[in-house]
Structure 1
Amino acid sequence: MKFIHAGKGRTVTDTYDPTRTAVLLVDPYNDFLSEGGKLWPQAKPVATDVGLLDNLRAVVAAGRQAHLQILFIPHRRWQKGDYEDWDHPSPSQRVHGQQRHIFALGTWGGEFHPDFRPADGDVIAQEHWAQSGFANTDLDFQLKQHGITHVIVIGMLANTCTTGRYAMELGYHVTLVRDATAAFEPEMMHAAHELNGPAYAHTITTTAELLQALEKGEH
């Protein structure tokens, strides 16, 4: 399947082979995506504006329909004692982990949103401790073992998640779906997709454009 993306005076043609393409669904936890989640009040304005939940549902469903590999990229679920004896936990780990216990293991907030739960054939990567789904996990190994060369990155958070950038560093073709992610402020979305993303992503697209490309492909 081929996808043509035009932006900033250039046209990029990408090929998404179903046997070599994966959808990376990052941190689809209740604390991020559900009413009552600890971080949902911060994310809700932007998420509502871009239609995040509907777009996530659409991309995952289209990926499954097109026989793309779906990988869940989960953040570490906080457990008692996490970070307490670390030399230098990050500001996010201190605030979200030590203080607020975001994504706590064994709690509703640390469960996947009910619309984004693994299905047969999906892969769940090892939990990552910080912003990259690759660092200190088996994600790169899992992608290579499944023959993946192209990744479509969706989920949370647009401006802090470095999974897409790390994927590029490891040699993967990276697609960012600008309205299948969200952040806490519009300025953060602008930075993610207009300032930082173009430096590493091969394609930055919308859900509608991606679905059109997948629907036209042969699978």
Structure 2
Amino acid sequence: MAEHEVIHSGYTTASAALLFVDPYNDFLSEGGKIWPLVKAVAADNGLLDNLRAITTAVRANGIRVFIAPHRRWEPGDYADWAYPNPTQRAIMDRHSFARGEWGGEWHPDFAPQSGDIVAKEHWAQSGFANTDLDQQLRQHGITHVIIVGLLANTCIESTARYAMELGYHVTLVRDGTAAFTPELMHAAHELNGPTYAHAIRTTRQVLELLPG
């Protein structure tokens, strides 16, 4: 067992959840504004097939899905902020995840289903900051989060780090995410991830640990 797998590993229907960050068309669909930037890494990872496999399997095993969506851009967002970060400036330029537009809709394979919990939208990179995600997880008895979605080195890392700080057991899924370059994926999983994640696994390894 790797050093970062410090807490045992099994996932139970009562205490585990799949946390899916930003499953928008702009990230995951052909024609999405950000898809061309992640497409090569996503193809190398088998990202879309892995996300389909893991969402199907966790639901079949009675594990709840939580969705942590980014703020859907609206005209004026960030424009008069004192300190918009570089990602927020990029969102202003390209209107990522625009509310009311196709790019800001759920990828059809990953839209919320009955029983899923959709947290309040996050404005920056952590799905926990200024949202109800922690409250929703705790009210449903969740202690272990399996985190997938986009991007590996921004929203996934920020959300996962925050989860660790709040006391959750954190699993990163190295082929259930993507980034703009292989170097950013390496940094997310080989350099940064082992400093905070309790487990870093592949989709196949996660599926082997599900209760069913």
On whether the aligned pair clears a TM of 0.5, the verdict is yes
- Show structure 1 runs of 5+ residues with no match: 1-5
Counterpart residue identity of residue 78, structure 2: Y
CA 1:108–1:171 in structure 2 vs 1: closer, same or farther (change >3 Å)?
same
The alpha carbon displacement at 1:13 in A equals 2.9
Aligned with 2:2 (options 1, 7, 18): 7
CA 1:84–1:149 in structure 2 vs 1: closer, same or farther (change >3 Å)?
same
Counterpart residue identity of residue 127, structure 2: G
TM-score by length of 2: 0.96
Aligned with 2:154 (options 157, 160, 182): 160
Counterpart residue identity of residue 69, structure 1: R
Counterpart residue identity of residue 100, structure 1: R
The alpha carbon displacement at 1:11 in A equals 7.7
Matches within 5 A, 1:102-121: 102-121=96-115
1:10-33 deviations in whole A, cap 9, x for unaligned? 786313121111100000100000
Q: Name the CA distance, whole Å, in 1 between partners of 2:152 and 2:100.
A: 26
Matches within 5 A, 1:1-219: 6-7=1-2, 13-96=8-91, 98-161=92-155, 162-214=158-210, 217-218=211-212
- Show structure 2 runs of 5+ residues with no match: none
The alpha carbon displacement at 1:35 in A equals 0.4
CA 1:122–1:46 in structure 2 vs 1: closer, same or farther (change >3 Å)?
same
What is the root-mean-square deviation in Å for CA atoms of aligned residues?
1.4
Q: Name the CA distance, whole Å, in 1 between partners of 2:126 and 2:97.
A: 16
Q: How many residues align?
A: 210
CA 1:10–1:118 in structure 2 vs 1: closer, same or farther (change >3 Å)?
closer
SS at match of 1:13: coil
Contact 2:4 2:194 in 1 (8 A): no
1:87-136 deviations in whole A, cap 9, x for unaligned? 1111110112x111000000000001010011110000000001100000
TM-score by length of 1: 0.93
The structure richer in strand per residue is 1
1:39-65 deviations in whole A, cap 9, x for unaligned? 000000000000000000111111101
Counterpart residue identity of residue 114, structure 1: P
CA 1:10–1:106 in structure 2 vs 1: closer, same or farther (change >3 Å)?
closer
Q: Report runs of 4+ in structure 1 exceeding 4 Å deviation.
A: 8-12
Give the fraction of aligned pairs with identical amino acids, expressed as a percent.
Answer: 63
Q: Name the CA distance, whole Å, in 1 between partners of 2:153 and 2:180.
A: 9
